[in-house]
């Protein structure tokens, strides 16, 4: 179960409130790269963990840390909105372009729906949706989902860092960026524990590989039409990363049939003409 205290994990300070930055910060709360997503993702991976308990426990540690990140960012949004009330009505009334621009750049729901606070939504106001919580039951798949989350999360935090000159906000982001650095490597370290590429690939590594059509398992398919050269890279020649094959290029051409479905059944009520025996059936 879970506990809390009253302090934030790291200081949140806003020197010059900015309603426009308050909108940008929403991406780090409820965006697909944001903290609600990683929090729920790590917790659900932990709640459903089967196998070595150490991974269940580690995931709970970091999932719990992320609740505190949501709290920090929600606090940062509220603080960036402190100055807003003074200009809202003025912006409506006066023809001051700077006020009007700030109003246009705000998230209206931070005022209308939340009374000057953060929303569990992204920077366009789209609510967070838990379909982004990846917890597959396969440890390696989950670790790569986590690396992807922390990589896009750190890119987002760096871009937010770029959008502000506020010393308090920059300090908070420096902390969050550092944590993303750690978390990227934390998940990749699990892959290393699993034996790296040879030990973990292909994911899931518990499926007997001779069941798959291995003649296509290490082929780069070039799908360009005639005259389009296939690209070359580490993935087009040399040993495969799992050490069990050799990368090759294959010009992709159909290996299958032309699909012909049975005619419509009467109960599905296609148009009558679809059910006639027409001569043009190629």
Please report whether residue 167 would count as binding a copy of itself according to CB under 8 A: no
Closest approach, Cβ 19 to a copy of itself, in A, equals 10
Please report whether residue 168 would count as binding a copy of itself according to CB under 8 A: no
Please report whether residue 158 would count as binding a copy of itself according to CB under 8 A: yes
Please report whether residue 128 would count as binding a copy of itself according to CB under 8 A: yes
Distance (Å) of CA 27 to CA 159, 215, 277: 11, 43, 56
Residue among 114, 167, 168, 198 that touches a copy of itself (CB under 8 A)? 114
Rule CB under 8 A: which of 20-79 touch a copy of itself? 20-21, 23-24, 27, 30-33, 36, 40, 43-44, 47-54, 57-58, 60-62, 64-65, 67-68, 70-72, 74-75, 78-79
Nearest by Cα to 12 from 167, 192, 196: 167
Size of the site for a copy of itself (CB under 8 A): 202
Please report whether residue 246 would count as binding a copy of itself according to CB under 8 A: no
Place of tokens 């051409």: 253
Helix (H, G, I), strand (E, B) or coil at 213: coil
Nearest by Cα to 66 from 139, 145, 9: 9
> How far apart are alpha carbons 223 and 279 in whole angstroms?
33
Please report whether residue 116 would count as binding a copy of itself according to CB under 8 A: yes
Rule CB under 8 A: which of 253-272 touch a copy of itself? 254-272
Rule CB under 8 A: which of 73-112 touch a copy of itself? 74-75, 78-79, 82, 85, 88-89, 92-93, 95, 97-98, 100-109, 111-112
Closest approach, Cβ 15 to a copy of itself, in A, equals 13
Nearer Cβ to a copy of itself, position 15 or 230? 230
Distance (Å) of CA 135 to CA 35, 42, 117, 223: 16, 8, 30, 32
Please report whether residue 15 would count as binding a copy of itself according to CB under 8 A: no
Place of tokens 């937010």: 160
Place of tokens 């910060």: 25
Nearer Cβ to a copy of itself, position 15 or 240? 240
CA atoms within 13 A on the CB side of 127: 3
DSSP assignment letter at 121 = B
Place of tokens 């597959």: 136
Q: Fill in the per-residue mask, 129 to 148: x = in contact with a copy of itself (CB under 8 A), - = not in contact.
A: xxxxxxxxxxxxx--xx-xx
Token code pair at residue 179:
């944590």
Nearest by Cα to 179 from 153, 159, 160, 161: 153
Please report whether residue 14 would count as binding a copy of itself according to CB under 8 A: no
Rule CB under 8 A: which of 216-235 touch a copy of itself? 216-228, 230-235
Residue among 22, 35, 181, 246 that touches a copy of itself (CB under 8 A)? 181
Please report whether residue 203 would count as binding a copy of itself according to CB under 8 A: yes
Nearest by Cα to 18 from 77, 59, 62: 77
């Amino acid at each position: 179960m879970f506990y809390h205290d009253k302090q934030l994990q790291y200081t949140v300070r806003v020197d010059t409130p900015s309603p426009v930055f308050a909108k940008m910060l929403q991406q780090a709360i409820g965006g697909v790269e944001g903290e609600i997503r990683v929090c729920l993702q790590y917790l659900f991976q932990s709640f459903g963990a089967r196998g070595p308990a150490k991974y269940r426990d580690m995931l709970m540690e970091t999932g719990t840390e992320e609740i505190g990140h949501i709290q920090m960012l929600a606090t940062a949004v509220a603080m960036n909105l402190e100055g807003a009330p003074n200009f809202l009505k003025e912006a409506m009334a006066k023809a001051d372009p700077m006020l009007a621009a700030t109003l246009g750049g705000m998230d209206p729901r931070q005022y209308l729906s939340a009374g000057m606070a953060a929303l569990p939504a992204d920077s366009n106001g789209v609510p967070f949706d838990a379909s982004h919580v990846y917890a597959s039951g396969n440890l390696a798949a989950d670790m790569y989902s986590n690396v992807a989350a922390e990589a896009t999360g750190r890119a987002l935090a760096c871009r937010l860092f770029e959008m502000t000159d506020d010393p308090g906000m920059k300090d908070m982001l420096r902390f969050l960026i550092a944590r993303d650095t750690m978390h990227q490597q934390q998940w990749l370290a699990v892959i290393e524990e699993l034996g790296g590429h040879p030990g973990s690939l292909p994911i899931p590594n518990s499926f007997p590989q001779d069941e798959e059509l291995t003649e296509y398992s290490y082929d780069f398919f070039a799908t360009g039409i005639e005259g389009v050269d296939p690209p070359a890279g580490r993935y087009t020649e040399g040993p495969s990363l799992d050490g069990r094959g050799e990368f090759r290029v294959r010009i992709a051409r159909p290996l299958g049939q032309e699909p012909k479905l049975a005619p419509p059944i009467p109960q599905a009520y296609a148009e009558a003409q679809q059910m006639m025996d027409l001569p043009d059936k190629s």
